Structure 1
Amino acid sequence: MELDEIAAIFFLECDEGLAAIETHLAVYDRDDSDPETINTIFRAVHSIKGGAGAFGHERLQHFAHHYETVLDGLRNNKFSADKQVRAILFAAFDLLTDHVLAAKGERDVPDDARVLEQLDAVAEGRLSSADDAAAPAPAAPEPDENGFVVQAVDLGALFDEPADSGPAPWKVVFRPEQRALDNGQEPSLLVAELCQMGGKLIAVDHESLPALDAIAADESYLGWTLELPADLDRDEILGVFDFISPASTVIVERSGEPAAADTPAEADEAGFVVTPVSLDDFDIPAAAPAAAPAPELKPTPAAPAAPAAKAAPAAPAAGPSPTIRVELDKLDRLVNLVGELVITQAMLAQRLSESGIPTLDELSDLDHLTRELQDSAMSIRAQPVKSVFSRVPRIIRELESETGKRVRLEVEGEMTEVDKTVVERIGEPLTHMIRNAVDHGLEKPEDRVAAGKNPEGVVRLAAEHRSGRIVISVTDDGRGINTAKVREKAIERGIITADQQLSEEELENLIFAPGFSTAATVSNISGRGVGMDVVRKNVQALGGRILIANRPGQGSTFSLTLPLTLAILDGMIVTVGGQTYVIPLTHIVESLRPQPSDIHHLGPDAMVLNVRGNYLPVHTIGRLLSVPGARAQPTEAVLVVVETDAGRAVLMVDDIQDQRQVVVKSLEANYQPVAGITGATILGDGRVALILDVEGLVARHNQIGGDFEMLAA
């Protein structure tokens, strides 16, 4: 494996580690009672540090080392995590993320001096607090009548044996195995890391070094002996060797400590054998290598497994399922191939049908296998929205600090799975919606109390599957949208004219207009009028819609409706005029041929359909998309009842041809965006059919008040 590939894997692990740190920091901030939370954070930082050392990213390694020192103190209860310490943990996480980005080459190396000083102050107990300020300083001795300061001194102590000066320094013997360089490891970097921890190189064992012409560039021949400060923790030293082969020799002991007799060597949790032997047993040259050669250091074999078997057998833990990393490009190619297989299967079925050959059992089996293969391929791309939701507690925490508001976050449905593309692209819209809910939606604590509410506002984030789509909603219990103020600001910014009449729904949707903002001043949170505009554009680019449910004085809900998959869907093939279209099956409720008595005209162009006592608006696809030759009389056409976020509606088409799976091809990527169309597909007979954007057609018709020609324009 090439070194670049190994480095890419390291950065993937860094991204996973950072995601785990962010998630568990939010949990730890709310409740620090579970020790496993801080242990998980510590392990993630420790892994990043170890990998950074192996690849020579010294600044990242140095910062991670200071970060994990504080985390280690917290998990060992050396100090408590008060509000100030937790703020430092979050600031350190931000800088750790910046250091990883710098190691990737995506940004400059950040200035971490201030946060490093804060981390050191936490680790060394130097953080100032109210208790420290209140503690009285020791009284200085007062001079006597002659001006001399007389202090009682125990003279006997001056002649006693010197007190124990503390534990002896650590001595470390490190001898990597000969093939240590095979997997991209660099033992000399580990030695350099030990020196950065205050270590001093005592000797280098070069006994195994062959003649110059026999040296192999990919083999390791040297061993090192170092002395490290006594105040370091043994586990901290061993952590440097987390990523080396267990066949390497690692001996860690305090200088002068005798070896424990008859103690079987056991492998530690990292797989290394740490043997408490005396380094005095090794004839290590003090300075020059001309002294007597040091004995060859051989890997210490682990103890037999028999003694460990005497312990009570633990119940097998149901750990996570084994996983494998796959490049996204390879997965995309698989999905595309499955899509082509779906098209080929449709073409085969079409040819057999046109030839008059009866349906074969094997063809039905192929249809089932193709659908199962497609479902499996889609499930591989599916990811829970938890990876996006995990960022929200951090955003809420920052907004509380900036706005002075108190917010309680409620999360529901975070394990709801959607396509990876959707997960990657909803992060920014979701961030803007959360910031909008806290900054514009929730009131100040004193205003909430005056309105009879709890001083702590509630923001609820939820995800659910609904009719073959995913709905992500952000709800707050704040003041709601003040449409009068929205109208006033829209007129002020020239978005609408003063004499323009708009419905409540249209006024609410003005907040998505470019440049619109109700903020009185520009701040780090809002005021420039780009946030909600970005939300709408990003959601529409995914083929989704955003709806507002406003409750003045009680709060509002913003709902994102997005497709579950962007690759393959079930659709109904319909014709309008000479064109073929696809209506996504997830929208369809029923189809029917109406009786004349079921149709009621509302003017020259608008009409409604009576469906068992419910009057639904009829949208004529021929007029909406300016299709020549489309049927104009509903009694001669087919009416398809569809379910949308705006309610039920009716689409009028000429005929229904078939129902089958279709592969979605992006119009935006291959041509340009088209109003009312969400994509295209290739049918079994090779024709291209456009996929109708049902939500867009119905929503657009509602906005323009029935003027069908505007959409076509």
Structure 2
Amino acid sequence: MSVSDSLRVAFFEECEDLLMRMGEGLRRIPDEAQRNELETIHDVFRAVHSIKGGAGAFGLTVLVGFAHAFETVLDLMRSGNLHPDPATMHTLIRAYDVLSDLVAAARDGREEPEALSHLLLELDVLAEGASAPEDDEAALAFEPMKIDIFPLSGASEPTPEAGGFTIDLETSAALFAAGHEPLALFLALGELGRATITADLSDVPPLTYLDLSSPRLRWHLELETAAPETEVLSIFGFVDDLARVTVKPLQAAGGLDASGEEQPSGDTAQRQRFETVPSPARLAEVTPRTPATPAPAVLPAMTTIRVSLDRVDRLINQIGELVIMEAMLSQAISFAGLSKDDDISGSLEGIKQLAAKIQESVMAIRAQPLKSLFQRMERITREAADATQKQVRLEVFGETTEVDKTVIERLVDPLTHMIRNSVDHGIETAEQRRSAGKPAEGVITLSAAHRSGRVVIEVTDDGAGINRTKVREIAEERGIIPPAAQLSTAEIDNLLFLPGFSSKAEVSALSGRGVGLDVVRREIQSLGGRVSIQSNPGQGTGFTIALPLTLAVLEGMLIGVGKETMILPISAIIETLRPHESEIHCLGRSGRVIAKRGEMIPIIDLAQSFGFAPTDDDQRQVLILVECDSGRRAALAADQIFDQRQVVIKSLEDNYGTVPGISAATILGDGRIALIVDPEEIVQRAVADTKTLPLAVNG
């Protein structure tokens, strides 16, 4: 990757942070007091201005033009000439969406968004009444920002007898490669007197064509000092073979130096001028000492680096191998019969604890807050509300909750479907809400929190709730359920997750094609999570997603199935049972159920499900009660339970292929491969076979 490409990547990465800050600020403006509101407007303005400046450096004229129109409106707001009323904020938020699309289009080489011209017109309408519109070409021209690179201000006047020198400095790539910094040289010259520095930019190419291996920047300095030339030259002693330095006596007022030769002035139009000042010690020699004003405390800045996700993934895989090797060593020591007090066992325990801490730290590297995802859902809500002509507001809580980056990326589609479903199906029209005694504006709440070692995300609305009568009628019409089927309210609600199910008779831009909630369930299950639905008529509907904190490690129960060792995820387990013979009842020719707390729970023999020889002795079996996303419970029969442990997940699809009833695999301490059971699929497959799993009935 060339230097210009690296700078371009860095610019777009910075744009992501700036856009996130903008979105958060625009959301806060209407809810803040006047003082904080102005500070927030300033912050949003600076973010837009930074994007505009960076885009100008790369010649992204369309992005620069839109950002300029955006910041013009924000400038009117911060000067008090434009009030942030709801209509204005609505336009600014839509302009923020378009600005985000323009950044993405410039980054990916796509076409500009269709709403660009319309939003430009709306911004121009808001900006009408400005005192003096700027010249367009001058407004869009990119100008470098002058930065004061010196920490002191003010300078002593040179004494009448002081002379000086002109210094021309031309650097080379070797100078920077050796770690030298021209600024350090300039500061050292500032110790000798007053130096005026002119940076010659005439030979510097545009940023896009910049080649750091061939520096083109030159400096011209005029140093007023009484120090001799030898002292000036000594400052450049360490770089004399890495740079071209020319030192001459400072020219007199008439334009001649001490030798009577006229000195060239250079092209001042292409130069940037700075002034150095003497050090505090030299200032003390020529100016009266004044009481110092205590400097305000400065908090240390957080240092961050950007690392490729592939590198983090490789590190996580290596940590996983370390966990496996630790398990192998533990088992080898156990087989060797060494006591726990042995030095080897003690050292291994220390390694185990250290590996766990390293694993936790590495997992934290991948963890990111959900803020960016939640901000994206705000836009989805706005677009869905505009498409349905409904008044909807999204409220977010827990956006600082951290989740594995891979999980965040794969949550985009499920949450998008849920938000659109809530707007289209859940929230009523303004007239319907007023008739029901509700505010005209509907509210969707998106929240996240850590609970019991998992991430729980909830999407709730205050709409009409699920029309279960209509859902049941549609399911019967399509042959999904028989007309006489006895279904609980939870089972009716879960019909919405079936593929192809849609309660919309008409196809719209948001729904009606039967694609939505089934996609949500499949995607959440592929992440090792669960999704459930709750609804109260007239009060609203809520979806709850429970996800693992990371996709690399699983907390599981080690069980024996036939002659195989398998892993059952702890998240699906309710309890373990060793039933009495009187608690097990037969149904039909092969069905079995267990009576537990007034409920008849079907039993699924795992050995039989995977094609192993079934175990006929019920007394030898242990039952593991699990609950599926649909709310259906089942008792999985296994031969024995070994222990509970964390295991490193290895994908089967990438390394072997899809195995029914199996979600992944892991490597045990003895080097054997153990398959990780997918209890959701096991139960669903058994439900499809009524001979294996009868419907649960209440006792």
Tell me the TM-score range normalised by the shorter chain: 0.7 to 0.9
Q: Answer with 535-544 or 336-345: which moved more.
A: 535-544
1:251 aligns with none
Work out whether 1:118 is the aligned partner of 2:122.
Answer: yes
Given the superposition, is the C-alpha separation of residues 118 and 409 from structure 1 closer, same or farther in structure 2, using an over 3 Å criterion? Answer: closer
1:347 aligns with 328
2:647 aligns with 662
Residue 328 of structure 1 deviates from its aligned partner by: 0.7
Q: Equivalent residues in 2 for 1:404-423 (5 A)?
A: 404-423=389-408
Residue 573 of structure 1 deviates from its aligned partner by: 1.6
Q: C-alpha distance in 1, partners of 2:297/2:559? A: 59
Q: TM-score scaled to structure 1, two decimals?
A: 0.71
Q: Answer with 339-348 or 593-602: which moved more.
A: 593-602
Q: C-alpha distance in 1, partners of 2:582/2:662? A: 32
Work out whether 1:357 is the aligned partner of 2:342.
Answer: no
Q: TM-score scaled to structure 2, two decimals?
A: 0.72
Q: C-alpha distance in 1, partners of 2:338/2:650? A: 31
Q: C-alpha distance in 2, partners of 1:113/1:303? A: 54
- Kept in 1, the 8 Å contact 2:200–2:272? The answer is no
Q: C-alpha distance in 2, partners of 1:98/1:618? A: 52
Partner SS, residue 447 of structure 1: helix
Q: Answer with 388-397 or 596-605: which moved more.
A: 596-605
- Kept in 2, the 8 Å contact 1:519–1:526? The answer is yes
Work out whether 1:557 is the aligned partner of 2:525.
Answer: no
Residue 681 of structure 1 deviates from its aligned partner by: 0.7
1:27 aligns with 28
Q: Deviations over 1:526-568 (max 9, x none)?
A: 2332232332232232222322223233322222222221101
2:236 aligns with none
Q: C-alpha distance in 1, partners of 2:201/2:125? A: 44
1:70 alignment partner, one of 66, 73, 90: 73
Partner SS, residue 91 of structure 2: helix
Unaligned runs of 5+ residues in structure 2 are 132-140, 148-168, 177-197, 205-211, 222-252, 256-262, 284-288
Q: Deviations over 1:115-168 (max 9, x none)?
A: 3343333334279xxxxxxxxxxxxxxxxxxxxxxxxxxxxxxxxxxxxxxxxx
2:480 alignment partner, one of 496, 499, 503: 496
Q: Answer with 41-50 or 596-605: which moved more.
A: 596-605
2:529 aligns with 544
- Kept in 1, the 8 Å contact 2:200–2:217? The answer is no
1:43 alignment partner, one of 46, 57, 64: 46
Q: Answer with 380-389 or 528-537: which moved more.
A: 528-537
Partner SS, residue 299 of structure 1: strand
Q: C-alpha distance in 1, partners of 2:350/2:265? A: 78
1:220 aligns with 217
Q: Deviations over 1:642-675 (max 9, x none)?
A: 5665376533211223433211012233344444
1:517 aligns with 502
Work out whether 1:107 is the aligned partner of 2:82.
Answer: no
1:131 aligns with none
- Kept in 2, the 8 Å contact 1:618–1:652? The answer is no
Work out whether 1:427 is the aligned partner of 2:424.
Answer: no
Q: Deviations over 1:433-459 (max 9, x none)?
A: 112112211222332333344444332
Residue 325 of structure 1 deviates from its aligned partner by: 1.5
Q: Deviations over 1:312-340 (max 9, x none)?
A: 543545x7743221111111111111011
Partner SS, residue 645 of structure 2: strand
2:454 aligns with 469
2:359 aligns with 374
Residue 221 of structure 1 deviates from its aligned partner by: 4.4
Q: C-alpha distance in 2, partners of 1:402/1:282? A: 75
Partner SS, residue 460 of structure 2: strand
Q: C-alpha distance in 2, partners of 1:430/1:520? A: 23
Residue 180 of structure 1 deviates from its aligned partner by: 12
Q: Equivalent residues in 2 for 1:49-448 (5 A)?
A: 49-110=52-113, 112-125=116-129, 217-221=214-218, 298-301=273-276, 310-311=292-293, 313-317=295-299, 321-359=302-340, 360-448=345-433
Work out whether 1:595 is the aligned partner of 2:580.
Answer: yes
- Kept in 2, the 8 Å contact 1:593–1:637? The answer is yes
Partner SS, residue 390 of structure 1: helix
Q: C-alpha distance in 1, partners of 2:302/2:145? A: 35
Q: Answer with 357-366 or 498-507: which moved more.
A: 498-507
Q: C-alpha distance in 2, partners of 1:209/1:410? A: 53
Q: C-alpha distance in 1, partners of 2:311/2:598? A: 49
Q: C-alpha distance in 2, partners of 1:541/1:475? A: 23
Partner SS, residue 678 of structure 1: strand
2:609 aligns with 625
Q: C-alpha distance in 2, partners of 1:308/1:632? A: 96
Residue 709 of structure 1 deviates from its aligned partner by: 10
Residue 35 of structure 1 deviates from its aligned partner by: 2.2
- Kept in 2, the 8 Å contact 1:483–1:508? The answer is yes
Letter in 2 for 1:108: E
Letter in 1 for 2:125: A
Q: C-alpha distance in 2, partners of 1:570/1:207? A: 61
1:231 aligns with none
Partner SS, residue 358 of structure 1: coil
Letter in 2 for 1:405: K
Residue 690 of structure 1 deviates from its aligned partner by: 1.0
Q: C-alpha distance in 1, partners of 2:600/2:172? A: 73
Q: C-alpha distance in 2, partners of 1:695/1:320? A: 48
Partner SS, residue 275 of structure 2: coil
Q: Deviations over 1:226-275 (max 9, x none)?
A: xxxxxxxxxxxxxxxxxxxxx9xxxxxxxxxxxxxxxxxxxxxxxxxxxx
Given the superposition, is the C-alpha separation of residues 640 and 6 from structure 1 closer, same or farther in structure 2, using an over 3 Å criterion? Answer: same
Q: Equivalent residues in 2 for 1:671-690 (5 A)?
A: 671-690=656-675
Letter in 2 for 1:565: T
Q: C-alpha distance in 2, partners of 1:173/1:692? A: 61
Q: Deviations over 1:465-505 (max 9, x none)?
A: 3443322221222222123322444455x463775736244
Q: Answer with 690-699 or 424-433: which moved more.
A: 690-699
Q: Answer with 507-516 or 418-427: which moved more.
A: 507-516
Q: C-alpha distance in 2, partners of 1:308/1:596? A: 95
- Kept in 2, the 8 Å contact 1:342–1:661? The answer is no
Amino-acid identity (%): 44
Q: C-alpha distance in 2, partners of 1:535/1:42? A: 38
Q: Answer with 437-446 or 586-595: which moved more.
A: 586-595
Partner SS, residue 346 of structure 1: helix
Given the superposition, is the C-alpha separation of residues 480 and 109 from structure 1 closer, same or farther in structure 2, using an over 3 Å criterion? Answer: closer
Q: Answer with 470-479 or 646-655: which moved more.
A: 646-655
Residue 29 of structure 1 deviates from its aligned partner by: 4.9
Residue 708 of structure 1 deviates from its aligned partner by: 4.2
Q: C-alpha distance in 2, partners of 1:97/1:282? A: 57
RMSD of aligned alpha carbons: 4.0
Given the superposition, is the C-alpha separation of residues 546 and 304 from structure 1 closer, same or farther in structure 2, using an over 3 Å criterion? Answer: same
Letter in 1 for 2:325: T
- Kept in 2, the 8 Å contact 1:344–1:684? The answer is yes
Given the superposition, is the C-alpha separation of residues 454 and 216 from structure 1 closer, same or farther in structure 2, using an over 3 Å criterion? Answer: closer
Q: C-alpha distance in 2, partners of 1:569/1:700? A: 23
Letter in 1 for 2:525: Q
Letter in 1 for 2:324: I
